[in-house]
Amino acid sequence: MKTMLIYHTNKSALREMCEACANNDVDVLELRPRYKKRPVLDDIADFYRAVTGRGVRLAPLDIDFAKYDQIMMVDSLRAFSPSAECNEFLYRCDLGGRDVMCIVSNRLRYFGHAGHLLRKRIRLAGGTCRDITYIAEADLAKQPETANAFALQK
């Protein structure tokens, strides 16, 4: 059973968790902006894009979803909304009716309507959001050695 884990984060603990999952059965892809960021200006622009549901230009992606049995997405929220990188990925891809499991991380313990927005955007991309797991970044930082994307989904 082959799994594609797709993630976007600015936090090292979440990035380490996702990268640690890579093995023969799991391919890991980080969603990265095409262009280097300018610290303050781009953070404000990304905040606006996330709130309005817009995307940001991503580095080129070439994914054949037919090879994967499962798709897992991990995303850090911006303003209680999916990140602009996640939005752009979902606008670009055709999930072809596949089930998608999600892990959503936030600095705070409040997640707002992010789950509803993510489910809607996955549905518009042709997939079905099977489950969303919410985790506060503070909880992840406390126990990084036990954090595993697949364990969190179960």
Q: Which of helix, strand or coil describes residue 69?
A: coil
The more confident residue out of 86 and 34 is 86
Handedness of CA 139, 142, 143, 148 (dihedral sign): positive
pLDDT tens digits for 53-88? 566 666 667 778 888 888 999 988 877 788 888 888
The two tokens of residue 9 are: 């984060």
- CATH architecture designation of domain 3-153: 3-Layer(aba) Sandwich (3.40)
Residue with token string 């090292």 = 12
Distance of alpha carbon 67 from alpha carbon 72, whole angstroms: 14
Distance of alpha carbon 119 from alpha carbon 122, whole angstroms: 5
What's the pLDDT score for residue 33? 72
- Asked whether the predicted pLDDT for residue 147 surpasses 60, the reply is no
pLDDT class of 16 with cuts at 50, 70, 90: confident
pLDDT tens digits for 119-138? 998 999 899 988 888 888 77
What's the pLDDT score for residue 101? 92
What's the pLDDT score for residue 54? 63
pLDDT class of 25 with cuts at 50, 70, 90: confident
What's the pLDDT score for residue 123? 92
What's the pLDDT score for residue 15? 83
Cα 124-114-151 angle, rounded to 5 deg: 95
Share of the chain above pLDDT 70, in %: 72
117 touches 81 (CB < 8 A): yes
125 touches 53 (CB < 8 A): no
